[in-house]
Every structure is written in C-alpha cells, then in structure tokens.
A and B are shown apart, each in its own frame.
Chain A
Amino acid sequence: MTWQKKESLILVSFLLILMLAFSFSCARKAKPVRTAAEEPAEVTPPEEVTEEVKKPATAEEWEAGKVEKAELTVNDYNVMGVLKDVHFDFDKYNIKSQEATILEENSRWLLANPTVIVLIEGHCDERGTNQYNLALGERRSQSAKAYLIALGVSPERFKTISYGEEMPVDPGHNEIAWAKNRRAHFLIISK
C-alpha cells in the first residue's frame, strides 16, 4: 500500500467517523421539527434492479390443489407436521382410544394424498433396555401401520423402522419427557 493510498484511507475513515458522530449526536437530539424554510434533500433514484415478483396464487389454483402439490416438498410436509405422532402407554404398543382420532386424521390426509410414502418410526422412553426397546419400538410402528391399513390406506405406502430409545424427542428424564418419547412418528419420505 502506497503512502497516498494509506493517507486517503485514513481521511475517508476519519470522515466516516465524523459523519457517524454527527448522525449520532443528531439522533440524540429531540425530534427535529421540519420548518417551511428547510429544503428537502435531493434523493437519488435507486439503481435499477429487476426483481421477479410472483403472482399470488389464485383461488382457482388453490382449489385445484395445483400450488400445494407443486410447491411443497417432502420436507415441507414434515416440518408442517401434516401427520401427527401417536403416543403409547409405558411398556405398551396398543393404540389407545384417545390416539385413534389422530390416526383417523392421518388416514384422511393419506387418502387425500394417495402417492405419499411414509416411514413410521417407533420410539420408546429410556426406561427399558436398549435391546427390548428396539423390539418394542418396532411393535409400536407396526401397530400404527396396521391401524392405518384398517382405515383403508394401502399397505405398500408404509415402511417401518424402530429407533428404540435412541432418538428421544425430549432428552429429559421425567414423566413428561417419557410420555412424549413413547411415540410412533410419521416421516414422509416421498410424495
């Protein structure tokens, strides 16, 4: 770096600091009241930038489901949680009656989206052995699958996996965490 360049840099930074200090002191002052004598500052027009502006989806498109189908990815579905978890009692893998409504909702969505393929994950709380919990998680995923099949969803649309106690949704060591962790989770893997 030459001396002149350095010098000019110092000058520029000095000016900048000055400007900042000035604007800061202005900001601290009471709100300036615009008087008629004040000339409005000249405004330079913005540089020309082309920005794609998307046309909002029309009601017709929504109705036809075109936008939803075309725009939402598998990941979007999963983040939105279109399919809800079902929860189980301690050491159990049967579907509880209060959880059945969740599976009914899930089945309705699946029947309305007939190409979606789902991986049903079975999970357990930490209070069993890893060995038995893997088998228990498997049973939970199978229970959920059987229930959805009984509600008319085709069996080929499901895969199952057990994670036992390996992937808790809540890492806590209390009844609230355990209740959340005893679950079948529905992961959409393709649509």
Chain B
Amino acid sequence: MRMKPVLIAAFALFCWTTLFYSQQQIPDIRGKIYGKGGVRIKLALPDFRPKESSETTISAAQKFHQVLWDDLQFSGIFQMVQREYYSLISPFDENRLNFEDWASIGSEALLVGNVSSQEEKLVVEARLFDVKTGQQMIGKRYRSDADQHRLIAHTLADEIVRTYTGQKGVATTQIVFVSDREGSKEVYLMDYDGDSQRRITYFQSINLFPAISPDGEAIAFTSYLEENPDLYLLRRHGGNIVRLVADLGMSTTPDWSPDGKKLLFTSSRDGNAEIYMVKADGSDVTRLTRNHTIDTSPCWSPTSRQIAFTSDRSGSPQIYIMDAEGTNITRLTRQGNYNDTASWSPNGLEIAYASRVGGIFDIFVINLTNEEVRRLTIDSGSNENPSWSPDGRHIVFSSNRSGSYQIYTMYPDGSDQKRLTTRGNNTSPRWSRWTK
C-alpha cells in the first residue's frame, strides 16, 4: 500500500519520440483469439546493448531484456524468433540495421534498444521496426528509478502490443488472490506473471473473494474479521478498512461495475442468498433477485447492462443472465449439473465458468451468441474460479493438479497453462482491469 507514491515517482516515464509511424504497414490482427492456432507475428528481440560497461548497467540490460522477452511471448500475439539465429547476423549494429538479414531468419518485426544509467536513473531506448519495409513503428525512451527495469519492460511490452492490436497489453496488470501460505486465508496481490507476490490483509481471519476495483485503488472482499462473513473494502492510500455491509446474514462474492461506482454481491440479509447491488460507499443497497432458492456469484457484463449469476432454482446450480435491473432472467448453461463462478469476457461475447465433472471442476467457456461450449481444462485436478485478463487473451484460474491449490494462466482455448504460485494454497484469482 505504501508503494504507490514511490511508484508514481518511479514511474516518471519519459516518452521521447515517435519518429515514424506507418498505419498501413501494421498487419490487422484485431479481434482474433490467440491460442495454439492463432496468427502470430514473428518478432526478433536481440539483447539490449548496455551503453556503459558498468556492472549495474550490464546486469540491468540483461534483466530488462528477459522480462521484455517473457512479456511479449506471453502476450499471445508474437512468436519470438529464437535467440540462436541472431548470431547469424553480424555484425549487429543497432544503428545500422540490415533488414534483409533479419528477414532471412524469419523475422517480421525487430525490436532493438539500449540501456544506460543516468543520474541514478535507468534509461531504456527502444525501437520497433517492420522488417519487410524497414519502417520504424515505435521509438521510445523510458526513464525510471534504477530498480524499475521490470516496470519499464512491462510498459514497453504493452505499447508494442498496442501497436499491433490497437489495445494495450496486460504486462502492467495484476492479479489479486487468496493465500493461506502464512496461516489464515489472506488477500494477496501479484504481477500478472507471478512476480512481486505481496500480502495485503493481516486479519488473522478467513478472507475470501477479493475483487480489485477497475481503477486499481480498492479491493473488495468477504472477511470473517468480526465473526460474520461481511463485505469489506480496502483502499490503497491511507489503508482504511471499510466494512461496507455488516451483520445482515452473509455478504459474499463482490463484483465491481465496469465504472467502479457500484458493486454486486450476494447477501442473505432478507433470509436467503440473493443478488444485491450497493454503491462503492456502502449506500443504496438494492435487491435484484427474488427467489426462494440460492442466487450467488454475480458478475457484470462489460457494458454493465446485464448480470450473469448462479442460481439453483432449476434444482442444481446453473448460470443465468438478467438485465442490470434484475428483470429478464434467462438460463444460460444447460450442460453439466453444477455450474458456478461466471466471468464475462471483456469483449462481451463469452462467459467462462467452472463446471463440476465427477467430484471436481473444470473450466468451460460458453459463447453467448450460439451457446456453444468449449472445455479448457481436463484431467488436471480440480480447476476453478476463472477470471479473464482485461484484453481477453488470457484466463487466470486456480487448480489443485499439483496436490495443493495454485494459480495458473492459460489462453482462452486452454493452451499454454502456466503456474504462477508455489507456497501454500492459492485460490480465488481475479485479474485487474487496465488502470487509466
């Protein structure tokens, strides 16, 4: 929490210049789903040259390059041209690029740059070229605190993804989750790639269902801090803990509206688990469902016009969709006899959820247009709590395939499952939205 002002200071990113920018040369790959069979741009990323021979700069250049490589590889839109081919190109001079050489090893895009230390700051210069035409697509200089090589790499990676897709990448986003690694179930936060895992709550109590606000400034969650499952709000600055909803049965599963002004949650304040809406300051609690069965796990659509939720009104938990006012309730899932934890894709077209198969869960995605269902996980323990990345190219979820619950990411076709956590049991992940 105390990191924020430091980060702001550190994040005095200095955007230098965009020398040349050619819209026509950018391949149009917008709106595609990237998985095993997705279209990828072949990107060459040779080492960034340390401008000074000091150990600090050399090490910073290496670390920066590795983070950038991993970010771009993860983004799902690039196929990284393997490093061993780079040695075929010689002499490599970042200021005199022979694009034919780079094309000969299969690159379509080339990213070059250098790293230097100036007045205890880390400075990175980077240029992205279209190999075919030799045109520069990005020219940037970033400056930040000396230890912020990861932040600069993430920022540059997101910018490169934006160049090709029209939409920022997710390298600067975070994942909030629950972990029992230090005893009780507490709220934790980590970078999208599993780095910088840090504990947020010290309640020595059961804490569940953390959801980070769209502006990244608050985390809503359920806690037994006062011996009852109530809804709490933790703000980044000042660290005040606000009990939003208290002492009226249970208050669980918060979900932020896309504008960050309201929350949906489950409450039994009127005697039975129903879906409610509350303003982010805790006022104006509105009841949305009226049914004698269980209604829970609400999730806003990206336009905030509709709400997906779980109800067992048909006899078993299934996912339903209703209008934001609680009207027009229709059943969505018809396969499987236990479906819960809907997560609406950012493009609004799909919903990911967990479905019970035997005694364990697997992640499924249902297309809202044709109601086709695809299975993302199979034969790998119980897989639960899917949550989309803000660009819709990844899904984070928890799985006990290793013997304990850990957090994983994958493409929305189920490919490239990658583990992010190791200690204790880690569950209930939620991907942050892009902060402005």
Are A and B subunits of one complex?
A: yes
B228-A131 in contact (CB<8A) = no
A47 to chain B, nearest CB (A): 46
Say yes or no for B364: interface residue by CB 8 A criterion: no
Interface size on B, residues (CB 8 A): 37
In the complex the two chains form, is A138's CB within 8 Å of B361's CB? Answer: no
Least Cβ–Cβ distance between B267 and chain A, in angstroms: 10
Q: Which residues of A contact B361 (CB under 8 A)?
A: 129
* Cα separation A134 to B249 with both chains bound (whole Å): 11
Residue A161, interface by CB 8 Å: yes
Contacts of A136 in B (CB 8 A): 294
Could you pull out 6 A-B pairs where Cβ atoms are within 8 angstroms?
A: A129-B384, A132-B312, A132-B338, A135-B250, A162-B250, A167-B206
Majority secondary structure of chain B interface residues (helix, strand, loop or mixed): strand
By a beta-carbon cutoff of 8 Å, the part of chain A in contact with chain B is 91, 127-132, 134-136, 138-139, 142, 160-163, 166-167
User: Taking beta carbons and an 8 Å cutoff, which residues of B are in contact with A?
Assistant: 185, 206, 208-209, 222, 227-229, 249-250, 252-253, 266, 268, 271-273, 294-297, 310, 312, 316-317, 338, 340-341, 354, 356, 359-361, 384-385, 427-428
Q: Which residues of B are found within 8 Å of A128, using beta-carbon distances?
A: 317, 338, 340, 356
The chain B residue with its CB closest to the CB of A136 is B294
Query: Within 8 Å CB of B340, what residues of A?
Result: 128-129, 131-132
B361's closest neighbor in chain A, by CB? Answer: A129
Contacts of B316 in A (CB 8 A): 91
Residues of A within 8 A of B271 (CB): 142
Report A-chain residues with C-beta under 8 Å of the C-beta of B338. 91, 128, 132
Inter-subunit contact B273/A138 (CB<8 Å): yes
A133 to chain B, nearest CB (A): 9
Contact of A131 among B249, B297, B360 (CB under 8 A): B297
- Flag if A138 contacts B209 (CB, 8 Å): no
Top-3 shortest CB links A-B: A135-B273, A129-B340, A135-B294
Closest to B298 in A: A131
Cβ contact within 8 Å between B252 and A134: yes
Asked whether A131 and B310 contact (CB < 8 A) given A136-B294, A161-B228, the answer is yes
A142 to B293, CA, bound (A): 13
Residues of A within 8 A of B272 (CB): 139, 142
